[in-house]
Structure 1
Amino acid sequence: MQAPEIDYVALSYRPDLRLLFLRWKRPASPAEHRAGYQAALQLARKEQAGRWLVDLRSRGLADPNDLQWVLREFRSDFQAALPDTTRRLAYLTTPYHADILRPRLLELDTPTDGGTDIRVFTEEMPAQQWLQSGN
């Protein structure tokens, strides 16, 4: 299912894969960053999609404050919206950005209940395989 397009992000849900795709098209402001995630959450609620591939290759990394927002506020909203679903976020990045994002996540990610797993990938197939594995 294709969601309405926003000029800075493309959202789609693949029922055959049971994956939501959030593909950033360009760098985004903090307001666009939050709006993109909220638009994806609306689609996820509709499809009961807890497994997301977040493609950052055209966008680059978010500001550390925006990453903290995802890890704290958005993660809480995500868990509340899909409480009975396995929740996983796979960040697809360039190798350079993966080397920056992985330690940032280790430093900033302190989930209280471990209800949403987050991993960083540099290739799409391993990301999809991880998203589809497990419960």
Structure 2
Amino acid sequence: MSSPDISCTIHHRPDLGLLVARWPSDASVYQLQTDFEALLRAAMESDTARWLLDVRRRDALQPDFAHWTVHDFFPRAAAMLAPQQLRIAALCSPARLTAYDTSAEQKAIIEEGTAPEQRYQLRLFLDEGATIQWLSA
């Protein structure tokens, strides 16, 4: 799925039971929110609660966006996709993971987002094979 309104590509992979969203570059917070809402619509249409988010080409860290995903979007998406459990695998670049580790604000939001008490499961990966394996488990 692609649309002139979104900055990513969204593909349904029925063979793997997941949605794959890939960003070719950075985008504004507003644009990323638009992209994520499109991803949720695609998930609802395909009844798919396993998402691979390829953010390897997105370098900018946006704490406002991270806060929105953890506190608003992911919980809302999890509720809308229930009874399936929303599983989100973020495929990151090594530089992005290093940036997460060096920013106290980003590190805190990642820890909150990946906490086991969340209504969704979120994990960060460097390897696409490991990402798909986790999503398929």
**TM-score, length of structure 1 as denominator length:** 0.87
Match of 1:5 in 2: 3
> Aligned partners of 1:50 and 1:110: how far apart in 2?
16
Q: Report how many aligned residue pairs link the two structures.
A: 130
Counting aligned pairs with the same residue, the percent is: 27
Residue in structure 1 matching 2:134, options 92, 113, 130 = 130
* Aligned mates of 1:61, 1:71 — CA distance in 2: 17
Partner of 2:104: none
Unmatched segments (≥5 aa) in structure 2: 102-106
Match of 1:118 among 116, 122, 126: 122
Tell me how far apart the structure 2 counterparts of residues 132 and 115 of structure 1 sit (CA, whole Å): 18
Amino acid at match of 1:71: V
> Do the aligned partners of 2:10 and 2:22 also contact (CA within 8 Å) in 1?
yes
Which ranges of 4 or more aligned residues in structure 1 deviate by more than 2 Å? 4-7, 99-104, 108-114
CA distance in 1 between counterparts of 2:136 and 2:87 reads 9
Query: Does the CA contact (< 8 Å) of 2:8 and 2:21 recur in 1?
Result: yes
User: Could you say what the CA RMSD is over the residues aligned between the two structures, in angstroms?
Assistant: 1.9
TM-score by length of 2: 0.86
